[in-house]
Chain A
Amino acid sequence: MGIRVQVQAQDFDPLQLQRALEGDDAGAVVTFTGYVKAGAAAVTAIELEHYPGMTERSIEAIAREATARWQLKGVSVVHRIGRLACGAQIVWVGASATHRGEAFAGCEFVMDYLKTRAPFWKKELGAFGEQWVEARDADHERAGRW
């Protein structure tokens, strides 16, 4: 089943992505969906910039590292770019494995590493104008656990 990475402006269907990870005698598929949150109430949308080429390459490297650490059958990542309203789906990660433990770990690892390594940048938009989102220490602490 292998590794699948998509960076796209358009929305995605989590169930369809999950279905694509089924089979291959996988006993477990663990998935994560991330949404745009307002943070401050005045934020109405975000604009997501990325580094085309490096983005895909870095996510693929993270997924490969996950398959080296755990017995995963498949890893799939979708990340959106461009302008996204609060509440919109922004990222999806799925991992399939024979047993749930490895699927849980693989999914969480990919998400934690993606937050701190993949070259995406969020800008918050609202009546106040616009502002870049600051990187969070908590995200680096989560990624550092692995």
Chain B
Amino acid sequence: MIQVRFFARVREALGTDGLQLDASDAPDLDTLQAALLARGEPWATVLAEPNLLRAVNHEVAYGNVPLAAGDEVAFYPPVTGG
């Protein structure tokens, strides 16, 4: 399984802090995101926001990344700490 987590505004807009996907349904990050976008609203809008950030295994993902069982993916808005 692949663990998917959502944070802050994204978490609230989706109404969940995470879910699990079968690794065979998400061979890479773009495919995983496309599968979530295909769930209809609010997924189609929230996960299409241009400033949405993605991380894989606690590292920011720039571009597509291959995924495997046990990976953790996160979607979140621009950070505002400090």
Q: Contact residues of A with B, CB < 8 Å? A: 34, 48-51, 53-54, 57-58, 79, 90-91, 111, 114-123, 132-136, 139
Contacts and interface: CB of A to CB of B under 8 A. Distances in A.
B5 to A, nearest CB: 8
B9 A132 contact: yes
A118 B58 contact: no
A115 B77 contact: no
B81 A118 contact: yes
The 10 closest A-B pairs by CB, nearest first: A120-B81, A135-B78, A121-B8, A54-B58, A115-B82, A133-B80, A122-B80, A132-B9, A57-B58, A114-B82
Instruction: Give the interface residue-count category, chain B.
Output: 10 to 19
Interface in B57-82: 58-60, 74, 76-82
A121 to B, nearest CB: 4
Residue of A34, A57, A119, A136 contacting most chain B CB atoms (<10 Å) = A119
B43 interface: no
Contact of A48 (B60, B74, B81): B81
Contact of B77 (A53, A79, A111, A132): A132
Given A49-B7, A49-B8, A54-B55, A111 B79 contact: no
6 contacts: A54-B58, A91-B82, A114-B82, A121-B81, A134-B80, A139-B82
Nearest to B7: A51
Contacts of B76: 51, 119, 121
Contact of B82 (A51, A58, A118, A132): A118
A90 B81 CA distance: 9
B79 A121 contact: yes
Contacts of B60: 58, 117
Contacts of A116: 79
B69 to A, nearest CB: 19
A119 B7 contact: yes
